[in-house]
Amino acid sequence: MLARQQPVAGDLLTLITSLRMSADLERMGDLTSHIAKVARMRYPAKAVPSELVETVREMGTIAERIIAKATSVIASHNLDDAIQLEKDDDDMDKLHRKLFLTLLDDSWRHGIETAIDMTLLGRYYERCADHAVSVARRVYFLVTGEYSSDLA
């Protein structure tokens, strides 16, 4: 397309932005696959210890909301939703810190292997949210031609 049609201005911006967003979306898919693998790897045992179930469940809920919102932002170019994704990411970051505080607590009794699983699981959710924010930033730039200070 670049060589044959030589897009300029808005078309070139759309093409380049789309290519960059597709990399973020692909990485989000990879991360969700890793999340599923953690559960599958520990089957029939539970992958998440009881004291972290609520935190991980909440991370999953926020991740679902963020992914749905990122999809909507791509389709609708809704800048309010793009800006809201940053706030949703802040919620995910808080849960990520909460998970670490639990893992670093002296009362942690589940061993190193489970701690590693939980560290990775938290990282997968947190990075998925970060990629969604990156998508929102790209859509914002595509629509306005400017970087949003709310998304920076």
Could you tell me which of 97, 93, 89 has the C-alpha nearest to residue 132?
89
Q: Do the beta carbons of residue 13 and residue 142 sit within 8 Å?
A: yes
Q: Roughly what angle, to the nearest 10 degrees, separates helices 9-42 and 111-144? A: 160
Helix (H, G, I), strand (E, B) or coil at 52: helix
Q: What is the greatest pairwise CA distance in the chain?
A: 63
∠ CA 102-105-110, rounded to 5°: 75
pLDDT score at 149? 62
Mean pLDDT by 10 residues, the chain (152 residues): 62 81 94 93 90 96 94 94 91 96 93 94 96 93 77 55
Would you state the structure tokens that stand for residue 140, as one six-digit string? 């914002």
Give me the DSSP letters along 126-147: HHHHHHHHHHHHHHHHHHHSS-
- The conformation of residue 47, written as its DSSP 8-state character, comes to S
pLDDT score at 144? 86
Q: Which CATH class is domain 2-144?
A: mainly alpha
Place of tokens 């932002």: 73
